[in-house]
A and B are shown apart, each in its own frame.
Chain A
């Protein structure tokens, strides 16, 4: 079973549908037991970082995620759901993240923001997530990003004004700044790669 963590963040239905293409049982829930028991947990996120963190903490999402990672269970953060894995963000007000991944989230240095649309990525050979879709485009919509590579991880980058992280794969943690659930066939393949490894 795959659980999509429901903490009041945006378009969960689309994420559910996209993961259902790869797995027969996908539920949207904030129940801690179900979220911890799930084979895979998806942490979505849209909007401002601080609001997302507050909502995540309100449903005990920090405990759910740390418990899963103690158990080595696969956890997939998307967009702001990626950013909350880092130590902090300076969006509007400096806000602490979960600190599972090192580094901070800051505004992209580009003349036109948000970074909206389909961008290509540069992915390392050891990436399992991007197998078969290394040369594809993925859909991004954000103004802030984590910019420093995570030591020991498969770091996938993109460029818009400057280089920043498009995805990180580190043990049980998988995070993407883009929206795989909105990235057409390439996104579906990427999701299927993640589900296939559960």
Chain B
């Protein structure tokens, strides 16, 4: 008996559609998040993450509908992130069918949000998404906002430590240096966060080839998240799991 390393596809959703990173040529109606969620479920995804990048309230309500539709058809855990500012936002998402939520900028602006969500729903529902990059801070990694363009003025390891003590149940660690490069995860960053984190760490950013996932897990990741390599079918979840199993890691069959 052992806990499986998780493979988590991430879908960017706005106004009820998957809005980027999808190969429309190979997939019929690839812009439908429910269809993509079902596809990834069938292909062996261990969880799904929706990142709501809606700009308007109207679009956000559509995203709530998409969460419900997905939860009605896909029987694996669903995490929803993006635009969460209050515990009431979390309640809406959980009632719509989300199992977990991820927060990022709102927690940087007002760290008490972490306590408010965790106290009401438990830390197991709360993922802290950290967009980090290398910088001359104490640990050598800093937190960014605005998709990695601006510094949040926080040391990444200090922020993770503080957020865990406030009540986050998982860390989604996005490397803004590796993101989009397809040259592999930032293994040094994963090792650094793993060393100080008492909660599971999900590695994100930089996946390009099958072996990258096992490298991230060797560095200490409990789960790995990726978007475009799965959307563009550059690697399949099944092949990633075969590689992990061959390297001695537990995976869900």
Residues of A participating in the B interface, judged by any CB pair closer than 8 Å: 10-11, 13-14, 17-18, 46-48, 111-122, 136-137, 139-143, 157-160, 179, 181-185, 187-188
Q: Contact flags (1/0) for B12-51 with A, using CB distance below 8 Å?
A: 0000000000000000000000000000010000100000
Residues of B close to A187: CB separation below 8 A: 75
**Nearest CB in chain B: distance from A9 CB, A:** 10
Residues B71 and A17 in contact, CB atoms below 8 Å apart = yes
Residues A14 and B200 in contact, CB atoms below 8 Å apart = no
Verify if B61 is at the interface (C-beta below 8 Å from A).
no
| Total number of residue pairs linking A and B with CB closer than 8 Å | 109
Which of B3, B95, B96: most chain A CB closer than 10 A? B3
Q: Which of B4, B97, B124, B253 contacts A46 (CB 8 A)?
A: B124
In the complex formed, the residue of B with least CB distance to A115 is: B3
Residues of B close to A11: CB separation below 8 A: 71, 94-95, 97-99
Tell me, in angstroms, the Cα distance from A143 to B73 when the chains sit together: 28
Residues of A close to B6: CB separation below 8 A: 117-118
Q: Contact flags (1/0) for B64-90 with A, using CB distance below 8 Å?
A: 000010011101110000000000000
Residues B77 and A120 in contact, CB atoms below 8 Å apart = no
Verify if B122 is at the interface (C-beta below 8 Å from A).
yes
Given contacts A114-B199, A182-B99, contact A188 B75 (CB under 8 A): yes
Residues B4 and A119 in contact, CB atoms below 8 Å apart = yes
Residues of B close to A188: CB separation below 8 A: 75
Verify if B225 is at the interface (C-beta below 8 Å from A).
no
Residues of A close to B56: CB separation below 8 A: none
Verify if B1 is at the interface (C-beta below 8 Å from A).
yes
Q: Which of B41, B71, B198 contacts A112 (CB 8 A)?
A: B198
Tell me, in angstroms, the Cα distance from A181 to B76 when the chains sit together: 8
Tell me, in angstroms, the Cα distance from A139 to B96 when the chains sit together: 20
**Nearest CB in chain B: distance from A58 CB, A:** 16
Verify if B234 is at the interface (C-beta below 8 Å from A).
no
Residues B76 and A184 in contact, CB atoms below 8 Å apart = yes
Residues B121 and A159 in contact, CB atoms below 8 Å apart = no
Residues A112 and B200 in contact, CB atoms below 8 Å apart = yes
Rank and list the top 7 A-B pairs by shortest CB-CB distance, nearest first: A47-B122, A159-B1, A118-B252, A118-B4, A137-B252, A114-B124, A120-B1
